[in-house]
Amino acid sequence: MASQELSMLVPGNVPWWPRHDWDAWLHRNAEATTSGEELDVKLDVTPETNDTSSSESPRPPSVEDDEDGHLVYQSGDILANRYKVLATLGEGTFGKVVKVKDLQMDHVMALKIIKNVEKYREAAKLEINALEKIAIKDPEGQHLCVKMLDWFNYHGHMCIAFEMLGLSVFDFLRDNSYQPYPLEHVRHMGYQLCYAVKFLHDNKLTHTDLKPENILFVDSDYDSTYNSKKRRDVRRVKRTDIRLIDFGSATFDHEHHSTIVSTRHYRAPEVILELGWSQPCDVWSIGCILFELYLGITLFQTHDNREHLAMMERILGTIPHRMARKTKTKYFYHGKLDWDDKSSAGRYVRDNCKPLHRYMLSDDEEHRQLFDLVQRMLEYEPSQRITLKDSLTHPFFDALPASQRLPDPRAAGDSQQTHERSHSLSR
């Protein structure tokens, strides 16, 4: 991270981050670094009660929320005496993302404004905590996780400022009428995604919500050409550099693991069966994402657990007996999925799903390599699922141009193994 960006994170720029806390934190970590102890990177993101921007303090009459807890704002408003609102970029259950101009640094960025609702405020604090630690481990952003530039509490709304990026790979796909990405684009994006998430896994962190909506292009400018066969214009993104976003559900190994994680379509079988989960659930999600980028369709298009499991069996084969026997869920009977193939739901699965290899658009070697990788990522048993370290050396990525390759993760992992054990991220 540039020195200017780092300066935005010091207490002088965040009124409720006391200088003595910062000094104490620096002192502790300076000692830890020299003694080989684990870094104490836990920052208190709870505003002080005397902070005028706190949700417990009097709110100026000009600060309003709507009935859902969103901050009411308009173009030209200035937040925290620093961020000028330019436009709304998007909206979600958590709040809104707004394009703002930083009046101090004189550049444009994206500001995530969380709803003034306790559960979303607490989730935002966890995201800030994870992003702080990612920034400490990777200050230059070499591992392709989005850069957090600032954070503050604006009258009960946790706000997180990020570097400005382009469209998500999902939004680009949707705006392109769900025309799939070229294979070379799938290769480059898949490589970067494996690289970024491997960095998290190496630091004992599981993202848990990997999906195309959480992968953003650095720049989503495109060329458009008319496809006579499809009788429509087809967009081709100029640059396929991506960044990983949304760490609101990221979980460290030692923390409490919620029973259910991940967005439905990208949810691993061990999560559905409530067998416990760890880093391999991210690998499953990446397998689903690669399929979606390649074909423009969702692999598991369902909203029901039993149907989801039936789709898995239709596409990937029978769920292992060990998993069926171990689960406490009611989806199996005598070790077999309790599913009626002759029902309307059964016909839907039969008509809309087929064995994985039959989705290949070509029998060329590079297509077979992609599907071999996806098959390994969609291994039912988490312990047998391919790791991201091994994924990065899979033959599918051999054709990646030298200009798109990132520092060799194998060399970095070998040379820094002892260092990583001492300084891995932890809450």
For 351-409, the pLDDT digits (tens) are 999 999 999 999 999 999 999 999 999 999 999 999 999 999 999 999 999 999 998 74
pLDDT tens for each residue of 39-89: 444 444 444 333 434 444 466 767 999 999 999 999 999 999 999 999 999
Positions at the binding site: 112
pLDDT tens for each residue of 212-255: 999 999 999 999 999 888 888 999 999 999 999 999 999 999 99
Q: What is the mean pLDDT of the chain?
A: 87
pLDDT tens for each residue of 161-179: 999 999 999 999 999 999 9
Q: Give the residue range(s) of CATH 3.30.200.20 domains in the chain.
A: 64-162
Q: Which fold has domain 167-404?
A: Transferase(Phosphotransferase); domain 1 (1.10.510)
Based on the residue annotation, tell me whether 209 is a catalytic residue of this protein: yes
pLDDT tens for each residue of 333-349: 999 999 999 999 999 99
CATH 3.30.200.20 for domain 64-162, yes or no, is: yes
| In the predicted structure, residue 13 carries a pLDDT above the cut 70 | no
- Please, which pLDDT band fits residue 326 given cuts at 50, 70 and 90? very high
What percent of the chain is predicted at pLDDT more than 70? Answer: 81
In this predicted structure, what is the pLDDT of residue 281? 99
Residue in 51, 202, 209, 246 annotated catalytic: 209
Q: Give the residue range(s) of CATH 1.10.510.10 domains in the chain.
A: 167-404
The amino acid occupying position 13 is: N
Positions at the binding site for ATP: 112
In this predicted structure, what is the pLDDT of residue 231? 84
In this predicted structure, what is the pLDDT of residue 82? 97
In this predicted structure, what is the pLDDT of residue 415? 44
pTM as predicted? 0.83
Strand partners, 79: 83
Q: Which two tokens stand for residue 221?
A: 């400018």
In this predicted structure, what is the pLDDT of residue 128? 97
| In the predicted structure, residue 19 carries a pLDDT above the cut 50 | no
pLDDT tens for each residue of 118-153: 999 999 999 999 999 999 999 999 999 999 999 999
In this predicted structure, what is the pLDDT of residue 14? 39
Question: Which whole number is the average pLDDT over 276-295?
Answer: 99
